[in-house]
Structure 1
Amino acid sequence: MTGRVTYRLDSGVATIAMDDGKANVMSVAMIGDIAAALDRAERDRAVVLLTGRPRMFSAGYDLATFSGNADDIRRTLRAGGNLVHRLLGFPFPVVAACPGHAIAQGAFLLLATDVRIGVAGDFKLGLNEVAIGLTIPHYGVEIARHRLTAPGFDRAANTGILVAPEEARDLGFLDLLVSDADELRTRATAEAQRLTGIDVSAYLETKLRVRAQVLAAVRSGIDAEFGG
C-alpha cells in the first residue's frame, strides 16, 4: 500500500484506511490504491472495514480534475464508477466507518458499502454536484436511488444539499450514528467481526440477487457515459 491508503488484517477483518493528509480526494491514484487494497482483502477472504482520516471519509473528486481535458475527466469518472460498482458487488461484507465528511464521490463510496456507521459532529454529507455546476454521473444517480429514501434521493440529487449526520441518517446515507470517534471505531469493528461469522456463499448469492438491478444499472451507466 501507499501512504494514501493503508491495509491491516486482523482476525478476518481487513481495515482499509484512506488518508491523503487533506480531503481524501478521489484521484485516479487514490482510486487505484483502494482497488489494490480490495484485491488484497479478496485474496485474504476478509470482511472489509473501509474508513478515512480523522473528520474525513472523502470529499469526492478533486475539482481541478474538471478543468482538465475531456479524456482525463472521463478516465477519472470511469475509475470512480468502477470502484462504486466493485464495492456494491464485493464478494465479502464491507462496513464503512465514516469519521466525518462524505461528499459527492465520497458519498457514493459510502452508499456502495453494506453497513454504514457515521459519527455525530459538525460534518457534512451529501451530493453537492448541482450546487457546484456538475451533473451527477449515471452511476451516482443509480447508487443513490438504491440506498437513499425516495424523497431523500430526489432532494439530495436535485438540490445539492449537504446535511449534518443526523439528517444524513434520516435520508439514508447512514445506517447508524454514534457519538464520537472512539465509539465509531468500536462499533464498526464489532460489526465487521460479527460479519466474519456469516455464511459467505449465502451472503454473496443473496447480495447479488438483492442488488441485481442496481448493479446492472450502474454498469450500464458507466459504459454508456464513459466507455467500457
Structure 2
Amino acid sequence: MSASILNYSVENDIARLAMDDGKANALGHAMIEALNAALDRAQNEAKAVLISGREKRFCAGFDLDVMGSGPENVRKLVGAGAELLLRIYQFPLPVVIACTGHALAAGGLLLLAGDVRIGVEGEFRIGLPEVAIGMTMPIFGIELARERLARNRFTEAVTQARIYNPAEATQIGYLDAAVPAPALMETAIARAATLAALAQPAFANTKRKERAATIAHIRDTLASDSGTFDGARAG
C-alpha cells in the first residue's frame, strides 16, 4: 500500500507504517483513516508494527484546519483520534514507534499508545501542550499519560503542559530511548523484530489484561467527555 500521506510495507514480518504528508504529519481524518486501514492489513500480514514519521516531524497533533472549523467538527475528529489511540494501545501485535522528530499534542499521545518508543536525538519538542493553548485535556489523554509517564512528573507534563527534548522525554516516559538519527530506524526495527518473536496469543492476551482497567475507564467516560473537545483549537 502506498498513499500520498502514508506508506505501508511488510519486511521480515514487520509492517512499516510511515506517515508523510509533506508537512507536520497532522492527524486529520485522512491520516486517521490511512492508519486504520494499514493496521487492518498489518493484523493479517505481520507479527509486529512499526510506525514512523517524516524526517524531523513525527506528528504535530490534530489537523488545525479541522480544529478551527467548529465544535461538531472538533468532536468528530478528536473522537476519531481517541478511537485510533485506543486501537493502538490495545493492538494485539506489538507496536513500536520511531519518533523521527517533533511529537506534540496528539503526536505525544501516539507515543504514549505505543508499546516501545524509540526517538531521535536532537532539538525536538515532545509533549502535551493542550493546557497552554487553552484546551482542557481529554480524559483519554490524561489516562494514557497516567499509565506511561513517571508518576512524579505527571502533573508537570499534563496539567502544566511542559514540553521536553528527547533526552528529557526518555526520563519522563514519552520515549524508551533516544538515539542518533542514523541509528533510529535500525534500532526500532531490531526492537520490533524482538517483539515479533514473542509467542502469540500470549502477548495479545497479556497486553489486553494489562491495559483492561485503563481502557474500560476511557470507554466509560469517552462519550460524556466529548463535550470538552470543542475547546481544542490546536490539539
TM-score by length of structure 1 reads 0.95
Q: 1:167 maps to what in 2?
A: 168
1:64 Cα offset (Å)? 3.0
Tell me by how many angstroms 1:215 deviates: 1.3
Q: Which moved more, 1:61-70 or 1:43-52?
A: 61-70
Q: Name 2:121's counterpart in structure 1.
A: 120
Shift of 1:19: 0.4
**CA RMSD across the alignment:** 1.3
- Of all paired residues, the percent bearing the same amino acid is 42
CA contact (8 A) 1:85 1:219 kept: no
Q: Which residue is 1:145 aligned to?
A: 146
Map of 2:86 onto structure 1: 85
How many residues are treated as equivalent by the alignment? 226
Unaligned runs of 5+ in 2: 228-235
Contact 1:143–1:218 under 8 Å retained in 2 = no
Letter in 1 for 2:33: G
Amino acid across the alignment from 1:184: L
Shift of 1:81: 0.1
CA distance in 1, matches of 2:223, 2:207: 22
Structure 1 spans left out of the alignment, 5+ residues? none
Is this contact kept in 2: 1:82–1:222, CA < 8 A? no
2:106 is aligned to 105
State the Cα deviation string for residues 101-148 of structure 1 (Å, max 9, x = none). 110001111110100001110100000011111111111111011100
Match in the other structure for 2:193: 193
Could you tell me how far apart the structure 2 residues matched to 1:153 and 1:83 are? 23
Equivalent position of 2:179 in the other structure: 178
Give me the whole-angstrom Cα distance separating, in 1, the residues matched to 2:177 and 2:109: 17
Aligned partner of 2:215: which letter? L
Alpha-carbon deviation of 1:200?
A: 1.7
Match of 2:50, SS state, is: strand
Q: What TM-score does the superposition give when structure 2 sets the normalisation length?
A: 0.93
* 8 Å Cα contact 2:53-2:99 kept in structure 1: yes
The answer on 1:48 being equivalent to 2:49 is yes
